[in-house]
Amino acid sequence: MKMSTNAYVVTKEINKASLWKAKSLLLDSLDMELTERCNNNCIHCCINLPLDDMNAKNKELSSEEIKNILTEAEALGCLSVRFTGGEPLLREDFTELYLFARRLGLKVLIFTNATLITPQLVDLFVHIAPLEKIEITVYGMKKSSYEAVTRTSGSFEAAWRGINLLLEKKVPFVVKAALLPPNKKEMNEFEQWAAAIPWMNKPPSYAMFFNLRCHREEEKNGHIRSLRLSAEESLKVLTHRKDKYTKGMKEFCAKFTHPSGKKLFSCGSGLGSGCVDAYGDFQPCMMLKHPDCLYNLKTGSLKDALENFFQKIREKKANNPEYLKRCANCFLKGLCEQCPAKSWIEHGTLDTPVEYLCEVAHVQARFLGLIGENEKAWETKDWKKRINNFINN
């Protein structure tokens, strides 16, 4: 065997590391909901529990349990962990968990409202970088709108203090927004401000099709439904950069738009990724908390869940006649956010059409010229021709 004369060290951009994708790692990224508790009380939130919910706190995974999960994730080749919540910075052991993950060689993506970012945390991020841009959701550009969403006095100042600390010490972060009645008139102001953030290399993303409570709390769901943009309003937001939207949709439709048949899982849930909830249940994706889809990590392993449990879930087929008539035959499947998780949170089953999402997909399809005014996409037989016409014009 001869020594190679090639360069010894090759640099690769982490976010484009095709080597993992190509080799189909059992686990390449992991989501961890460190807590469901939050110091805000946002009007649209699908998961938050009160800050002082001791019942929830007592059930949360311990530091050691989280470290054991992270250690197994690393051994399976995982490169990146997302710490989310609730508000992940609420965990008293956040710094300990962050350092542990980074020292394992994991990149850490933090989803936060920024209100709990302290000078000490910023110093930590400066010296031991997460290697992923922190993601911050902004709820308004004014105290009145922000706190009308968060229902938490002082949260506006706290978030801006956190954001300014990151800016001052040049810790990379990006911002996104939840478009809600109290703040939706501030979209332009938000975009102008976001564009000046040095690490925003594309326009901010918006949440507007708010998920219902992921534990199916019907008493709170009515209010969340009332906050959603109408399908027409959402189209205005999606198409406010019309050329970019149309170009993106052409690329997307060329790859993903086709009927999915009886198979329920056409997304990548549970393939090389998954979400550990605050209490140790491992689920294929963050929103899918259907009891049949939860794997208890206190009595099992990530490996077993990924190799066996998730595979079985992914084989599930639809039985609901309405789903089989509509969603299974609908060529807008890729455009539509209908999925087993959304079906679960809306209807308590994995295979019930979600009318709101159906409406949003149809409004977009009409805008793109894929269907006519009163057409239903699942009744369209010549969908291939329509897609071809759309992507080639």
* Radius of gyration, CA atoms only, the chain: 22
Q: Toward other proteins, which CB reaches closer, 172 or 259?
A: 172
Question: Which residues 6+ apart lie within 8 Å of 240 measured at CB?
Answer: none
Using CB under 8 A as the binding rule, whether residue 201 contacts other proteins is answered as: no
Binding residues for other proteins, rule CB under 8 A, total 33
Shorter beta-carbon distance to other proteins: residue 8 or 321: 8
AA letter at 325 = K
- Measured CA to CA in angstroms, residue 306 lies from 260, 290, 391 at distances of 23, 17, 36
Terminal CA-CA length for the chain? 55
- Span near other proteins by CB under 8 A; candidates 8-16, 49-57, 217-225, 269-277: 8-16
| Closest separation in Å from C-beta 166 to other proteins | 14
Enumerate residues 289-328 that contact other proteins by CB under 8 A.
none
| Tally of CB atoms within 10 A around 56 | 17
Smallest gap, in angstroms, from Cβ of residue 14 to other proteins? 5
Report whether 284 contacts 293 (CB < 8 A): yes
Query: Hey, how many other C-beta atoms are within 10 angstroms of the C-beta on 29?
Result: 18
User: Which are the contacts of 149, defined by CB distance < 8 A and separation ≥ 6?
Assistant: 42, 43, 44, 139, 140, 178, 180, 182, 183
Q: Tell me: does residue 168 bind other proteins (CB under 8 A).
A: no
Residues 6+ apart with CB under 8 A from 361: 330, 332, 335, 336, 337, 338, 377
Nearest-approach distance from CB 67 to other proteins, in angstroms: 15
Q: Are 331 and 261 in contact (CB under 8 A)?
A: no
174 binds other proteins (CB under 8 A): no
Position 202 contacts other proteins (CB under 8 A) = no
Smallest distance from other proteins to CB 33, Å = 24
Are residues 74 and 106 in contact, defined by beta-carbon separation less than 8 angstroms? yes
Indicate which single residue of 59, 103, 223, 244 sits in contact with other proteins (rule: CB under 8 A): 103
Rounded distance between C-alpha atoms, residue 58 and residue 279, angstroms? 9
Shorter beta-carbon distance to other proteins: residue 76 or 249: 76
Taking the complex as a whole, how short is the minimal distance between the CB of residue 85 and other proteins, in angstroms? 24
Residue closer to other proteins, measured from CB, 104 or 391: 104
Residues of this chain, 114-133, that bind other proteins according to CB under 8 A:
126-129, 131
Task: Look at residues 91, 97, 69, 98 and name the one whose alpha carbon lies nearest to residue 281.
Answer: 69
| Residues 11-30 interacting with other proteins (rule: CB under 8 A) | 11-15, 17, 19-20, 23, 25
Token reading at 211? 């998920």
We find the least distance from the C-beta atom of residue 98 to other proteins, in angstroms, to be: 11
Q: Check if the beta carbon of residue 273 is closer than 8 Å to that of residue 20.
A: no
| Min CB(122)–other proteins separation in Å | 12
Q: What dihedral do alpha carbons 30, 35, 40, 45 form, nearest 10°?
A: 60
Applying CB under 8 A, among 21, 59, 62, 77 the residue interacting with other proteins is: 77
Task: Provide the CB-side half-sphere exposure for 220 (13 A, CA).
Answer: 18
Write down the least CB distance from residue 93 to other proteins, Å. 19
Site string for other proteins, 45-74 (x = CB under 8 A): -----------------------------x
Closest CB to other proteins among 81 and 208?
81
Least distance (Å) between residue 73 CB and other proteins:
12
Distance CA 298, CA 22 (A): 31
Can you give the binding site for other proteins, defined by CB under 8 A? Answer: 1-4, 6-15, 17, 19-20, 23, 25, 74, 77, 79, 102-105, 107, 126-129, 131, 172
